[in-house]
Structure 1
């Protein structure tokens, strides 16, 4: 009887763990409002402390010794025990059926032990760093961080990918071929060489994803080759239906809060109080009318830095950042500040409110000192229908406009499920820029 009871508890525990695992998130999301500035990036170059490291997307080549680094802040200002684990996903970011042992070298449960306490900041916080362990298979992964004492309490999740270039990708970016989209959209033509890589059905075996500016809300999927050159082992993607086109958008707005001792770029004023600092970003306006204006940006990303010490990780303070957009109130619609700092999610954190006295929308968002790119997005008025069929959650065109001259970064990701494999692998990766100026 006692043995049966122990077996019952063991089986019940396994079922509970499996059920809990099935509920793990597979998207970029912060569930705990005290967790801020979650960054996941590859450590490149000779200076790992360079703030610009974080501008690179969390995608690494498995054939090269590149370290992924996770950093985040806990504004509870008390030590909390964090742990991390991997979730393996297919090309569509749905969880695969692989067991942990098939894609990890160690037990899939990692303590996060490297932390520092903020220094000389009005808002105290703990800063955590976690070198991401290597994985076995190329593909999509989600890094889930949770409470060590309660694994069901998930704090946040971040996506990343690893690849092995088994196929070659060559690509060009240009303005759209359609005369009606010539001044608004950008087109990505590409070829895939699979010489030396076995494909049973070349026109069907590969899954293609094209992403704009590292944004998971700006992706094109489901593309099929327009020509299969079997003798050359080459797939051509030159689509006449323009399903390979993206709205060009506009250059991102930006501001600089690396110092509170003076006004940085596009900062109107800074209020310095005993318990916190408040930075007012210069009042913005609608940019969807008029000509395109060329400016440099980070393609929607941000950099954490502290001008006086260059130690942004622990000496950059959290500032209440005030955004103001002067425009008429839009009935039955919601307006948001949109940026990588919120994973491009349109939610309560970055929702704006209309202030009749200012004749403008306004939002107060707590952000760490640095240089930020952002734009504005509207929910309630559908965006223009894209030829590519992208499912856009917000309408950026109404406020920011679309211009084919906009400088953008594109990624082409090629997935394949080899014979006898049970999950998609990332077998080709290519980054290209359009209208690059730096």
Structure 2
């Protein structure tokens, strides 16, 4: 998807100063001491439920569900933060709306809920912020900045709100392309706009499909293959395979909720005075051979501390050591990837080759919990170009692609009503494929 990319190469510097028009409308962290940024919908009766982080930040305005932001500051010094909202169109570019058109109050919010970590080797401040309700359905960017220096943006997170004006009937299956039948998944669907006035439905609606809540796994620009005007129905059965996604593989996972003894897929623990190291069991490539069924979180992670179940302030930061058994790949850059790094391939998750370990190694400080991850390669064998997708690294080189993989898909439907100056999210549906029973 298109984003504002002004000064993007410089934004990896901590605390980069930006004006409102220069803020890239992407999920990003610009301050290295800011970690574990979670934006979750508060579903159910327990706002502290760790599993809430497995849900995407997409909420229905008609329901009594709010979003909560949380993050940690590893400087362990209190710093005052503030937040503001930016409204975006379907392509995640800034809209022309004024703040008063989509907010109920002044668009500048103090973040006042904070706690100091308790009993951890790595001290930090834990912040929470209830995201204010908005007036309009659509895309938003939550911007958190330094109160003492408003031009200093610390991080940004995307979220969406919707109103159900059109119905979505999805059908996810193996790709209809003979050569991709065993590697790709195809998302067909119907859109029903009965009761919602559209003059030219085949042109007015913008459809976006996203895989596993990843903004680098997105397809846009789809047009209906059949318009059933009398039934107020649009059919999307694309023969050019633009609505297909690489199936990928089930995500790898490990459990560092406790440091008393090694948990699932942890080889050993090294408890030092200033920090604890957890060595994940060495991995090997899975791109050849048969598909193996395993349960996963589709790339997400859960923060929790096993002994106290208070992951917010009592979960420690564990230096997690990853090892990928492989020969050195000349000219290649290998990364550990996952939602824990917002699906970015950067210095925080880059691996280095270690002849002593017989593969690629990375050390990443992670808050205690259960994590999904995958491996991605840049520099050699670039990923196959796919319509509308901004795939950076090649995951298939290590992980493989299988159409039998269990994945989640989201379908977003946008419309700009007459006399409106911005796109609104008028339909949303989440659907899983190959779900386990």
TM-score category by the smaller chain? over 0.9
2:397 matches 1:398 = yes
**Stretch deviating more after TM superposition (84-93 or 46-55):** 46-55
Aligned to 1:199: 198
Per-residue Cα deviation, 1:251-296 (whole angstroms, up to 9, x for no partner) = 0000000000000100000000111100000000000011000000
CA displacement 1:165-187 (0-9 Å, x = unmatched)? 10000001111112211110000
What does 1:20-99 align with in structure 2 at a 5 Å threshold?
Answer: 20-99=19-98
C-alpha distance in 1 between matches for 2:44 and 2:156: 26
> Do structure 1's residue 214 and structure 2's residue 213 form an aligned pair?
yes
Contact in 1 for aligned 2:335/2:377 (Cα 8 Å): yes
Q: Structure 1 CA distance, aligned partners of 2:185 and 2:387?
A: 11
- Residue pairs, 1:375-394, within 5 angstroms: 375-386=374-385, 388-394=387-393
> How far does the alpha carbon of each residue in 1:343-363 deviate from its partner, in whole angstroms, 9 at most, with x for none?
100000000001122220000
Q: Is contact 1:269–1:280 with CA below 8 Å preserved after alignment?
A: yes
Q: TM-score, normalised by structure 2?
A: 0.95
Shift of 1:58: 0.3
- Unaligned ranges ≥5, structure 1: 1-18
Other-structure match for 1:144 = 143
After the TM superposition, list the runs of 4 or more consecutive aligned residues in structure 1 that deviate by more than 4 angstroms. Answer: none
Q: How does 1:34-433 map to 2 (within 5 A)?
A: 34-386=33-385, 388-433=387-432
Q: Aligned residues, how many?
A: 420
Cα shift at 1:386: 4.9
| Partner Cα separation in structure 2 for residue 148 and residue 430 of structure 1 | 37
Q: Give, in whole Å, the separation in 2 of the partners of 1:330 and 1:393.
A: 18
Distance 2:389 2:117 in 1: 41
Aligned to 1:13: none
Q: 8 Å contact 1:407–1:434 — kept in the other structure? A: yes
Distance of 1:386 and 1:33 partners within structure 2: 32
Deviation at 1:47, TM superposition (A): 1.4
**Aligned equivalents of 1:423 and 1:295: distance in 2?**
42
Write out per-residue CA displacement over residues 99-149 of structure 1, whole angstroms, 9 at most, x where no aligned residue. 111100000000000011100000000000101000000000000000011
- Alpha-carbon contact 2:221-2:388 (below 8 Å) kept: no
Offset of 1:384 from its aligned partner? Answer: 4.4
1:199-252 residue CA offsets vs partner (Å, 9 max, x unmatched): 121111111100000000000000000000111110000011111100000000
Taking the aligned partners of 1:252 and 1:383, their CA distance within structure 2 comes to 21
Larger Cα Rg: Structure 1 or Structure 2? 1
Separation of aligned partners in 2, 1:389 and 1:166: 25
Aligned residue in 1 for 2:6 = none
CA RMSD of aligned residues (A): 1.0
In structure 2, the CA distance between the partners of 1:405 and 1:386, relative to structure 1 (3 Å rule), is farther
Once the two structures are TM-superposed, the CA of residue 390 in structure 1 deviates from its matched residue by 2.3
Q: Is the 8 A contact 1:246 1:388 kept in 2?
A: no
